[in-house]
Amino acid sequence: MLLLLASLLAASANGVALVARQNVNQVVRLSSVENVAVRSTGEILATNMNSANLYSIDPVAKTSATALTVSGARGLSGIGEYAPDVFAVIGGKAVYSVDFTASPPASSAIATIAEASNLNGLAVLSNSTVLVADAGRGLVYRLDVGTGEYAVALQDATMAPSGGIPFGIDGIKYRDGVVWYTNIFKNSFHRVAVDPHTAEAVGPYETLWTNLMGDDLCFGPDGLIYVATNAGNSLVEVDPAVGTPRTVGSVTGSTSCAFGRTDADANVAYVGAGQGVYAVTVQV
């Protein structure tokens, strides 16, 4: 109770509107969920940086199982669907493809980025290209999922690492010519207009806030952006035109989010966290 109260007070101090917890429910209990994605079937995929297992979660039955173990990886972080039911997932300094159109599902290495320091966030640019955030070096790689070729596409002071780990750019997503990203230890959220083919910047690097921790993020069905705040213990909603966060659910240690893809859960954000995966129902 004291921890929750402290979290609520901290959120209030950051100028984030508070909401009741009634719209938050735990889907499954899993240790240290790092990132989540949702399949077209409705199943949730969850990663853990300390395990090569990719977990599959049934949000209706509220059960979880190991979908597959990614061969060659010791732990998994960012994940994104770049082709129908085919996902790119980060495992250490490598990026893997996980194909759920195969039976059983199979994984294969796309590329190893030997010079990487700490790969974490992943965004899908197109069905042939993903963006991979290096939190240790403070930059973003563009990776061709077909050839394995990669190059630095974005690098800026707003992505630079800080803190004792050190860790910089964390969550990253792309939509309609804009890359959105967080810098976790600088408590900041940013965007930059990019070329849709190369992902190189075509506009200034903009800062939306510098007073709220942000981990990974996701797009909602309402055109808004949702950010997991990690130590902020919440999921916040952001209108891209305004940039001000508004709390829509309290989730302790929230790390990531992804919205449901069925009619029944289109307004539900599934949130990864230290103690599992939670469902946060938002008003659309």
The residues with which 143 forms a beta bridge, in sequence order, are 130, 150
Residues in CB range of 238: below 8 A, 6 or more apart: 189, 208, 224, 225, 226, 227, 244, 245, 246
**What is the amino acid identity at position 130?**
V
> What span, in angstroms and rounded, lies between the C-alpha atoms of 45 and 260?
11
pLDDT by residue for the chain (284 residues), tens only, comes to 223 333 333 433 343 434 444 699 999 999 999 999 999 999 999 999 999 999 999 999 999 999 999 999 999 999 999 999 999 999 999 999 999 999 999 999 999 999 999 999 999 999 999 999 999 999 999 999 999 999 999 999 999 999 888 999 999 999 999 999 999 999 999 999 999 999 999 999 999 999 999 999 999 998 999 999 999 999 999 999 999 999 999 999 999 999 999 999 999 999 999 999 999 999 87
Residue type, 78: G
pLDDT value at residue 222: 87
d(CA 272, CA 31): 10
Number of domains the chain contains: 1
CATH number of the domain that residue 23 is part of: 2.120.10.30
* Residue-number span of the structural domain to which 241 is assigned: 2-281
CA angle 229, 233, 237 (to 5 degrees): 50
- Chain position carrying tokens 């806030």: 209
- The structure tokens 């969550």 sit at 171
- Return the pLDDT at 22: 62
Tokens representing 267? Answer: 């307004």
CA 231 to chain centre: 15
Type of residue found at 42 = G
Q: What pLDDT, on the 0 to 100 scale, is given for residue 213? A: 97
Which residues, listed in sequence order, are joined to residue 202 by a DSSP beta bridge?
A: none
| Bridge partners for 278 per DSSP | 26, 271
DSSP letters for the chain: -HHHHHHHHHHHHTTPPP--STTEEEEE--SS--EEEE-TTS-EEEEETTEEEEEEEETTTTEEEEEEE-TT-S----EEEEETTEEEEEETTEEEEEETTSSS-EEEEEEE-TT-S-EEEEEE-SSSEEEEEETTTTEEEEEETTT--EEEEEE-GGG--BTTTTB-EEEEEEETTEEEEEEGGGTEEEEEEE-TTT--EEEEEEEEESSS----EEE-TTS-EEEE-BTT-EEEEE-TTT--EEEEEE-TTB-EEEE--STTTTTEEEEEETTEEEEEE---
pLDDT value of position 36: 98
- Say what the pLDDT of residue 194 is: 98
- Which residue has 């409705």 as its token pair? 42
Biggest CA pair distance of the chain? 51
Q: Which residue has the tokens 């997503």?
A: 173
- Neighbouring C-alpha atoms within 13 Å toward the C-beta of 62: 8
